[in-house]
Amino acid sequence: MRANIDLVEEQKRNFVKDSIRLYKEIEELKKEIAQLERKYIDLESTHESLLRGNVRETRRLLNELQGAQDDLARKEQMLRELESNINAQKMDVNQLKAELEARNARLVELEELLYQKDAILEDLRRKVSDALLGFEGEGLSVTRRNGKVYVSLEEKLLFKSGSTVVDPNGVRALKQLSAVLARNPEISIMIEGHTDDVPFRKGSSIKDNWDLSVMRATSIVRILLESSNIDPTRITVAGRGEYLPVDPAKTDEARRKNRRTEIILSPNLDELYRILDLQ
């Protein structure tokens, strides 16, 4: 969008330059026309005085007079064309000005929406942090990034190893979070389950880390929906398995960080996208 505005400004500057040049040409033509008109009057006067005199001189003056008339007609035609060009360029610059004003208005509207979105996100982050204040030392963090609020819950807060049943302490945290989400119906909710890269043990009802991550995310969704009046259409559930680690190191500490569930909260961006489509 900024490139389009710069292009319009460049076109306006070019118009001003062309207008100055054309106005100079018009002034020169007007001077030439005035000179030709004076010359025409002088020749006509001379012709009258010599009309009964030398015939050859009279013919020469008549030819010169005719040439002056033709030259004057050409200059006047050029003047009309230049004035027509000026008028056409005035219409073009007025149209460009209107387009620029419309784009500037959309830019102001877009900036206001971005400000509102940031304010909503920060308010949501604060509310979530306040609601979960007692759990932040137990493997829970609330952060803002990429235009979203991330609530990250480590495995130790929610599940026993290999289990898909949420521990009582985790249930309490999720109930407190669900109350905040119910009061903010414009927020979309994505729940992502993540595991470490240790293969799941054979013989279990859970097939692999993909299965475990999805089942854990689903368990969390059920608690959120049972705890508050949250519209299920706001929620998306995903299992990422071991394939989106926060720490790729092959250490126990890295694997502990990677065993987590992320609840990702996003504001409604429909109005923002509408304005972007107009740019």
Nearest CA among 154, 255, 257, 261 for reference residue 199: 255
Q: Are residues 136 and 263 in the same domain?
A: yes
Reduced to 3 states, what is the DSSP secondary structure of residue 68? helix
Which positions ≥6 away from 5 have C-beta within 8 Å? 100, 103, 104, 107
Last residue of a domain, one of 121, 155, 177: 121
Give the structural domain span for 47: 2-121
- 98 HSE (CA, 13 A, CB side): 6
Residue type for 26, please?
A: I
Looking at every residue in the chain, the average pLDDT score rounds to: 84
Average pLDDT, stretch 253-262?
A: 95
Instruction: Dump pLDDT digits (tens) for 147-173.
Output: 899 999 999 999 998 899 999 999 999
> Using CA atoms, how far apart are residues 56 and 59, in angstroms rounded to an integer?
5
- What is the band of 275 on the pLDDT scale with cuts at 50, 70, 90? low
188 lies in a domain?
yes
More confident residue, 208 or 55: 208
Tell me if 232 is assigned to some domain.
Answer: yes
Radius of gyration of the chain (CA): 40
Q: Residues 1-25: what's their mean pLDDT? A: 68
The residue among 121, 145, 167 that closes a domain is: 121
pTM: 0.63
- The model's confidence at residue 197, banded by pLDDT at 50, 70 and 90, is very high
Counted domains in the chain: 2
Last residue of a domain, one of 75, 94, 121: 121
| Dihedrals phi, psi of 201, to nearest 5 degrees | -65, 145
